[in-house]
Structures are given as C-alpha cells and as structure tokens.
C-alpha cells in the first residue's frame, strides 16, 4: 500500500506533467477553416494542445453581379470564393477548375462540375497552360489575391479575366488570445497567408513563448521581426504540409518544456 507521502509525490509529478504538456494552438483563420484544420491533425497532437480560435480575418461576400456571358469555365482557388459565388447564384453549368481538395469538394457540393487541377495556384496555372481548356475563363477570388493567375494565363494565350466576389476584413485578436499572449504558456501559431502574417505581426503584443509556422516564404517574411522561439516554413504551400509543420512544432515545444513523451 502506497504511503501518503508517496501518493502526494505521485500527484505532484502528475500535475507537473500536465503543466508541461499544456500548449496553446492559436488558430487565426476564419472559424470554419480553423476547425477543419484542427480536426485533421493527428489525435496525439490534438491531445497535447488547447486550441484558441481567434480569427483575424473575416470573409464577407461582396454584393456584385457576376457576368458569365461567353465564359467557358471558372477558376476557384479557395472555398471562400466558391461559397461567395454560390450566394451570388453564379451559373452552375460551367466547369470549375479548382485548387486543393477542400475547394474542389466545396464546388462539387455547390453544384459545379469541379475538377481539382493542382494543390497550389502554381500547379493550377501549369495544368491549364498544358491542358488548354476552352476559354475565356473567369477567376473568382477575394479582393486581396496573390499569384496573378488571370494575368499569367492571358499572357500565355489562355484568355482569363478575374473578379473579386468577397472581401477579407482584418480583425483584432480575441480577449482569450490576448490573455494567452500575456502569459507564460507556449503558443503555436500557424499563419496561412502573407496578409494575415503581416497583420498578426502588427497586432501581436505578448510575452508568451511563440512558435510560428508559415505556409510559404512570402508568409514568413513579415514574421522575422517578431520575437519567437522558432519559425518553421512548410516545404510546400498545402494544408498537409502545414499540419506536418504544426506537428513538428508541438514536438519541439514539448521537448523544450521537458516532456519527452511525445517522441
């Protein structure tokens, strides 16, 4: 039978272990996208973090008319564009060329004959220039967009125009995230675009150890001026690679915190 002193020591060690295992995972994407990302993390990783949802970007559909007269196909590079297009009742009888499985699945669910033609915008451009579908094409996107997809395709002989169908409104950190930022618990923050990374760097004020993951070199550029423990850049700008980066950061942060059990 264990003595009272032994029970006390055991409880103390268990308590210390729980404290060591506590990390915050700060998700700054819109809530639905953040929840989807977290749900796809390995169960073991999810058990090691407490998720704080603090969207610093809000998607707002634009009240615009989308003219598809003469258009032979649509380009979607985000699920946000698909949802905005659906709310604007854009014609469903056009083929849709999409980036990534989430965008493609969203487009199919909304009624388009959608085809995934790459995991990134670069892969989409390469596919379309090689496959040469009927044109002109129409790229429906957000007000802020990178990659110059329509311009590059048009310059290469595949006529494409573009139209913003939603806006990305910047938001401050939530009160929960602000409190965590001022504490001592390590925070892992994945950033998914150059614009949100710039905004995050501008609004971040805190003393908590910060572990950052950037989905691209361009996203990382705004983060170098921050006071962080580690910054990891994904090898490719995909959700899969970002999940891998977060997984590695969790493991490294746990080691720093003294818990080797995650290896």
Which domain covers residue 211, as residue numbers?
22-56+171-262
Query: What is the number of structural domains in the chain?
Result: 2
Domain closes at, from 168, 200, 228:
168
Q: Which of 193, 142, 205, 201 is nearest to 169 (CA)?
A: 142
Q: Which of 258, 220, 251 is nearest to 48 (CA)?
A: 251
Residues 146-155 have pLDDT tens digits of 778 999 999 9
Q: What is the pLDDT along the chain (263 residues), one digit of tens a residue?
A: 445 444 444 444 444 444 445 899 999 999 989 999 999 999 999 999 999 999 999 999 999 999 999 999 999 999 999 999 999 999 999 999 999 888 999 999 999 999 999 988 899 999 999 999 999 999 999 998 777 899 999 999 999 999 999 999 999 999 999 999 999 999 999 999 999 999 999 999 989 999 999 999 999 999 999 999 999 999 988 889 999 999 999 999 988 866 543 33
Distance CA 131, CA 161 (A): 18
CATH of the domain at 43: 3.40.50.10090
**Do 201 and 248 fall within a single domain?**
yes
Residues 153-183 have pLDDT tens digits of 999 999 999 999 999 999 999 999 999 999 9
DSSP class of residue 174 equals P
For residue 152, tell me if it sits in a domain: yes
């Amino acid at each position: 039978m264990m003595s009272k002193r032994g029970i006390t020591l055991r409880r103390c060690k268990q308590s210390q272990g729980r404290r060591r295992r506590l990390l915050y995972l700060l998700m700054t994407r819109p809530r639905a996208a953040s929840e989807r990302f977290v749900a796809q993390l390995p169960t073991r990783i999810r058990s090691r973090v407490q998720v704080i949802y603090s969207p610093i970007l809000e998607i707002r559909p634009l009240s615009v008319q989308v003219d598809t007269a003469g258009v032979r196909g649509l380009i979607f590079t985000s699920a946000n564009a698909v949802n905005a297009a659906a709310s604007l009742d854009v014609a469903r009888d056009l083929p849709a060329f999409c980036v990534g499985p989430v965008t493609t699945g969203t487009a199919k669910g909304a009624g388009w004959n959608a085809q995934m033609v790459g995991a990134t915008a670069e892969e989409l451009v390469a596919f379309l220039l090689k496959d040469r579908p009927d044109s002109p094409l129409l790229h429906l996107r957000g007000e802020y967009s990178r990659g110059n997809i329509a311009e590059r395709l048009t310059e290469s002989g595949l006529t494409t125009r573009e139209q913003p169908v939603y806006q990305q409104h910047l938001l401050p950190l939530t009160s929960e995230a602000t409190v965590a930022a001022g504490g001592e618990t390590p925070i892992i923050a994945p950033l998914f675009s150059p614009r949100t990374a710039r905004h995050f760097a501008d609004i971040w004020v805190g003393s908590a150890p910060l572990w950052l993951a950037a989905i691209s070199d361009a996203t990382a550029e705004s983060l170098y001026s921050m006071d962080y423990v580690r910054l990891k850049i994904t090898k490719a700008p995909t959700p899969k690679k970002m999940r891998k980066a977060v997984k590695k950061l969790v493991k490294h942060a746990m080691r720093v915190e003294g818990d080797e059990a995650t290896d």
